[in-house]
Amino acid sequence: MEVIVNGRPNLVKDRFGRESIGRFGWKGDVANLEQFVADAFRNEIGITSPLAPHDVAVVADSGCGPTKSGLDDDGSIIGAVTAYLTALPAPLPDRSAAKSYQQGQLLFASAGCVSCHTPALPSRRGAVALYSDLLLHDMGPALNDGIVQGGAVGAEWRTTPLWGLRLRSRFLHDGRAANFAEAVLAHDGDGAAASRAFRQLTRDDREALLEFLAVL
Express each pLDDT in 149-165 by its tens digit.
989 999 999 999 999 99
Express each pLDDT in 100-144 by its tens digit.
788 999 999 999 999 999 999 998 888 999 999 999 999 999 999
Judged against a pLDDT cut of 90, whether residue 82 lies above it is answered with yes
Q: Specify the fold of 95-213.
A: Cytochrome Bc1 Complex; Chain D, domain 2 (1.10.760)
- In this prediction, residue 98 carries a pLDDT of 66
pTM of the entire predicted model: 0.86
User: What mean pLDDT is predicted for residues 25-49?
Assistant: 95
When comparing pLDDT for 96 and 130, which is higher?
130
- In this prediction, residue 171 carries a pLDDT of 96
User: What mean pLDDT is predicted for residues 187-209?
Assistant: 96
- In this prediction, residue 72 carries a pLDDT of 95
- In this prediction, residue 66 carries a pLDDT of 53
Please state the three-class secondary structure of the chain as a single string. Answer: CCCCCCCECEEEECCCCCEEEECECCCCCECCHHHHHHHHHHHHHCCCECCECCCCCCCCCCCCCCCCCCCCCCCHHHHHHHHHHHHCCCCCCCHHHCCCHHHHHHHHHHCCHHHCCCCCECCCCCCECCCCCCCEEECCHHHCCCCCECCECCCEEECCCCCCHHHCCCECCCCCECCHHHHHHCCCHHHHHHHHHHHHCCHHHHHHHHHHHCCC
Say how far apart CA 48 and CA 72 lie, in whole Å. Answer: 5
Say how far apart CA 79 and CA 82 lie, in whole Å. Answer: 5
Per the CB < 8 A criterion, the answer to whether 185 and 199 are in contact is yes
User: What mean pLDDT is predicted for residues 166-184?
Assistant: 95
Ordered by start, the domain boundaries in the chain are 10-87, 95-213
